[in-house]
Amino acid sequence: MIVEILRHKKNEDKSYVQKFEYQYDDEKQTVATMLNNLNLIDDLKDIDGNPADKIAFKQSCLQKKCGACAMLINGKPGLACARRLADYGDHIRLEPLKKFPLVEDLIVDRGIMSENLKMMEVYLKGEALVNEKRNELSYEASRCLQCGCCLEVCPNYMANNGFTGMAGAMPLSRIINELNKSDLKEVSKTYNRYVYEGCGKSLACVDICPAGIKIEDLLVNSNAIAIWKRYIKD
Ligand code: SF4
Ligand code: SF4
Ligand code: FES
């Protein structure tokens, strides 16, 4: 397989493409395993035989649970630990996510997602609501990995444009489903300002979410509660 990687040294201006030749036997081998295997080679060389630096990328759980390894794989955002090499034939291209500041090689700074959650004060300020139907939705929203893949494909998301995308909407939806009607006023205003007003409802984010979160269901539910004040009986 030819592995093409868009590389960038820390604190340098230019990016460059480097290609590697890679062989593997295991049909289940993932992109993350391949990157780790390349990095295990002491005298790593590119396809032209030139010495190559270790490839910088983020990983943690390697079980599709943390979102750390999100990158562009053949142009689509995804988790390196979830994507199998066998699905890409004999050529794969890896690039860093484009909507976040580039740090090095495949690493970007996704701190803005945490900053957005802090800005929106995404935490319970009232008593938690116990309601079976809402608990299910709350659990679904809690599965957000904060990987940023949805922001990458969203036509409306740009850093600091006031819209926090689904990476902001999912944790906010969780809170919306955990609060009693009387405590919803403030969080509804936040939802309106940072999610509802900016979202064009194109739903490009739905298919790309590597956690398979039911984004559309959560959006419909949060819109109903926060915008249209259609409260579920509690
Ligand atoms: S909604 Fe999905 S794609 Fe977006 S940050 Fe959460 S897990 Fe990632
Ligand atoms: S529905 Fe469309 S505009 Fe809204 S977050 Fe998803 S991709 Fe972005
Ligand atoms: S390393 Fe945790 S999701 Fe890939």
> For the domain bounded by 111-227, which CATH number is listed?
1.10.1060.10
CA distance 210 to 78: 6
189-202 pLDDT, tens digit each = 999 999 999 999 99
Binning the chain into helix, strand and coil, the percentages to the nearest 5 are 35, 15, 45
Structure tokens of 87? 């699905």
**pLDDT tens profile 23-71:** 999 999 999 999 999 999 999 999 999 999 999 999 999 999 999 999 9
Candidate of 108, 144, 217 to mutate for ligand 1, largest count of ligand atoms within 8 Å of Cβ: 144
Model confidence at 110: pLDDT above 70? yes
The average confidence (pLDDT) of the chain is 95
The string over 201-222, giving b where at least 16 C-beta atoms fall within 10 Å of a residue's C-beta and e elsewhere, is: eeeebbebbbbebbbeebbebb
Q: Would the pTM of this model clear 0.75, i.e. be above it?
A: yes
Atom of ligand 1 nearest to the CA of 215: 1
Domain-wise residue ranges, the chain: 2-108, 111-227
Q: Which CATH architecture has domain 2-108?
A: Roll (3.10)
Closest ligand to C-alpha of residue 153 is: 2
